[in-house]
Amino acid sequence: MIQLKNIYKYYNSKFQRTFVLKDVDLEIKEGEFVSIMGPSGAGKSTLLNIIGLLDPPSEGEYLLLDKPVHQLKDKEKTLYHRNYMGFIFQAYHLIEEMNVYENIETPLIYKGIKARERKAMVADLLDRFNIVAKQDLFPSQLSGGQQQLVGIARAIAGKPRLLLADEPTGNLHTDQGKEIMALLRKLNQDGTTVVQVTHNEGFAHYGDRIVRLVDGMVSL
């Protein structure tokens, strides 16, 4: 599903080039659950951003679903975001001005799904995540774990084939973290490819495979 070949990411400052990623080769198959680990500043998030088409690589080739995507236009990226990918963030990144229901509904609206169908889909998600009672609340009224549940619900509302999670449990205490990880595993078992970045060795093992990054390079 994902093929990264000789990916470099660097920033040019006045007199030197700072490398964030160096010569990364990575292949992720459809249906895998991959955890990316590594110390602070190793380039984990950057790698995830490149996979998620949020950040273009400086050099290298990226094939997504067998198509080169490293030089897409904004408009085409949006299509991938809308149709294939879901994002989960450490800081949840819910839209503060929308309530739970609306937050989950947003991607479906953009996807052009009809109102009745949309309603059913959101209702199903609220039910699955056991947050029906919270649907009218705004993010600021929820606990971190609840916010992350909403974040995940939103991410999977559009039935993405690829779920990208950037330290999804980073702001949560252990019990909440475990719940979230269980949920991710469940989603993976249902067929969604999951790529997560994490610091937590325990949570990393929820995945099938761990990719370790050190100083921007994949350590084997």
Place of tokens 């400052």: 13
Is position 13 an interface residue for another protein (rule: CB under 8 A)? Answer: no
The yes or no reply on residue 190 touching another protein (CB under 8 A) is no
Judged by CB under 8 A, does residue 208 bind another protein?
no
Instruction: Tell me which stretch binds another protein (CB under 8 A): 30-38, 64-72, 74-82, 123-131.
Output: 74-82
Residue 64 engages another protein in binding (rule: CB under 8 A):
no
Q: Which tokens go with 164?
A: 């990208």
**Among 114, 178, 106, 103, CA closest to 145:** 178
Question: Out of 1, 19, 58, 77, which residue is the one contacting another protein (CB under 8 A)?
Answer: 77
Decide if 179 contacts 130 (C-beta within 8 A): no
d(CA 151, CA 91): 9
Q: How many angstroms separate the CA atoms of 124 and 199, rounded?
A: 32
67 binds another protein per the rule CB under 8 A: no
Tell me: does residue 123 bind another protein (CB under 8 A).
no
Nearest distance from C-beta of residue 155 to another protein, angstroms:
9
Largest CA-CA distance found in the chain, in angstroms, rounded: 58
Contact 126, 101 (CB under 8 A): yes
The residues binding another protein (CB under 8 A) are 45, 48-49, 54-55, 74-75, 77-78, 81-83, 87, 89, 93-98, 102, 105-107, 109-112, 115, 154, 158, 166
